[in-house]
């Protein structure tokens, strides 16, 4: 995840300034100084105060969800502007007495022109023509209606659709930041939505739950392939780019629309046989877990030596020094010097059990074997201790589990 842009305080004598990285400075103007709301060393909030500013609520969507922010506005019957930032995307919602009256988005598919195309009220050629005539004092809606490309009724219907979709898309977000500035309600650019804000919030919550369910069903690493029914109407270009198939994440990047629109489109396409979604191919089956090996088929000495070879292989696979037994054998612990005299590690980490047994055979066969196993346990313990310091924790833990299994088999 990209790091967030930073604001760095600079103090020089009696003056202090705040250096903003470019993403933070975008949209700010030197002619409009900011008002600082200081909260001690923890931080501050910088605001361009509108006329009639009454207060603000700011925070992270990880702390307060979108529905909680809307609840704050609804419960207080508040008027003002809510701005929500998610990555580079910014959405705003205007309220009057707790009711949504307007909304905007920087997301391309949530702009008026894209919605007019999607609703079939405009062609791409007409939109391109209209956009070429937009000026700072003449907005897209004015161009469309004054030139007879879209009727006033259709423009209002499309704008109402945009506002509703922008609001609902906020409920898809699980991270980002928000700022609600309480103040006078806007007088221009006001629409009447078909439902009250409370009902809109409930719709947004239900939509977020459905999106979560679809995301669990269709996961990013799944593969999407064309189905037997062929391309959906109007989607020939996307299906051509899909080719024989692609990971779901790549298909998401090709789709022009928000997360909810994409996953519901995918669900409908799969149900209609236009697309097939397959689970990713399982990874190659790992070799048998060392904890599950048939220890009973091996002698005690062979079990210890097998564990030494597993440690040796783990060190090799991790790119570490494999010959860590050399230090133990060069200077055995006190009392084991005679036992390991002349014993050297083999190329796979195993030790010469016959030589070890010969060194300890003086007290009889039973005593000699017991001492041999005790010496083998000492060198395995050393190898595990040393390996734990250099191997990844999960590998070291697996080897330790194997050691415990081995000891249980000897009990």
53-76 pLDDT per residue, tens: 778 899 999 889 999 999 999 999
* Within-domain flag for 22: no
Residues 100 and 94 sit within 8 Å (Cβ to Cβ): yes
* Ramachandran bin of 55, using left for φ above 0, alpha for ψ from -120 to 50, beta for the remaining angles: left
Q: Are residues 347 and 203 in the same domain?
A: no
Q: Are residues 111 and 191 in the same domain?
A: yes
* Within-domain flag for 80: yes
List residues bridging with 41 in a β-sheet.
39
Question: What's the confidence (pLDDT) of residue 276?
Answer: 93
Q: Are residues 205 and 233 in the same domain?
A: no
Question: What's the confidence (pLDDT) of residue 274?
Answer: 94
Q: Are residues 189 and 313 in the same domain?
A: no
For residue 331, the enclosing domain spans: 290-410
Q: CA geometry: angle at 122 spanning 120 and 123, to 5°?
A: 100
Question: What's the confidence (pLDDT) of residue 199?
Answer: 95
Show which of 214, 234, 259 is a domain's final residue.
Answer: 214
Q: 3-class SS at 325?
A: helix
Mean residue pLDDT across the chain: 84
- pLDDT band at 409, cuts 50/70/90? low
Q: CA geometry: angle at 16 spanning 13 and 19, to 5°?
A: 135
């Amino acid at each position: 995840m990209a790091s967030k842009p930073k604001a760095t305080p600079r103090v020089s004598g009696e003056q202090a300034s705040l250096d903003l990285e470019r993403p933070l400075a975008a949209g700010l103007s030197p002619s409009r100084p900011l008002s600082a709301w200081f909260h001690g060393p923890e931080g501050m909030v910088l605001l361009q105060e509108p006329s009639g500013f009454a207060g603000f609520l700011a925070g992270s969507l990880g702390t307060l969800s979108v529905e909680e922010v809307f609840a704050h506005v609804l419960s207080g019957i508040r008027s003002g502007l809510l701005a929500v930032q998610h990555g580079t995307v910014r959405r705003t919602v205007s309220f009057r007495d707790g009711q949504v009256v307007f909304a905007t988005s920087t997301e391309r598919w949530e702009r008026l022109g894209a919605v007019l195309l999607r609703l079939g009220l405009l062609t791409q050629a007409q939109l391109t023509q209209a956009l070429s005539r937009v000026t700072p004092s003449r907005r897209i809606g004015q161009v469309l209606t004054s030139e007879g490309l879209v009727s006033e009724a259709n423009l209002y219907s499309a704008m109402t659709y945009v506002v509703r979709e922008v609001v609902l898309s906020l409920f898809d977000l699980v991270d980002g930041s928000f700022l609600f500035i309480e103040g006078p309600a806007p007088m221009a650019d006001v629409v009447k939505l078909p439902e009250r804000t409370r009902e809109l919030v409930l719709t947004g919550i239900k939509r977020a739950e459905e999106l979560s369910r679809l995301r669990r069903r269709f996961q990013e690493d799944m593969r999407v392939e064309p189905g037997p029914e062929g391309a959906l109407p109007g989607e020939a270009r996307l299906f051509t780019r899909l080719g024989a198939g692609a990971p779901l994440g790549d298909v998401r990047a090709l789709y022009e629309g928000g997360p909810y629109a994409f996953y519901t489109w995918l669900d409908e396409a799969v149900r209609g046989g236009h697309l097939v979604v397959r689970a990713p191919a399982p990874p190659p089956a790992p070799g048998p877990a060392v904890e599950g090996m048939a220890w009973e088929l091996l002698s005690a000495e062979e079990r210890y030596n097998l564990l030494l070879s597993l440690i040796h292989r783990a060190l090799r696979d991790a790119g570490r020094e494999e010959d860590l037994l050399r230090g133990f054998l060069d200077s055995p612990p006190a009392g084991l010097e005679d036992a390991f005299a002349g014993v050297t590690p083999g190329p796979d980490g195993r030790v010469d059990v016959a030589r070890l047994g010969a060194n300890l055979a003086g007290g009889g066969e039973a005593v000699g074997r017991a001492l041999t196993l005790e010496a083998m346990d000492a060198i395995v313990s050393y190898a595990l201790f040393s390996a734990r310091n250099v191997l990844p924790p999960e590998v070291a833990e697996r080897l330790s589990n194997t050691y415990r299994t081995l000891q249980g088999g000897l009990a």
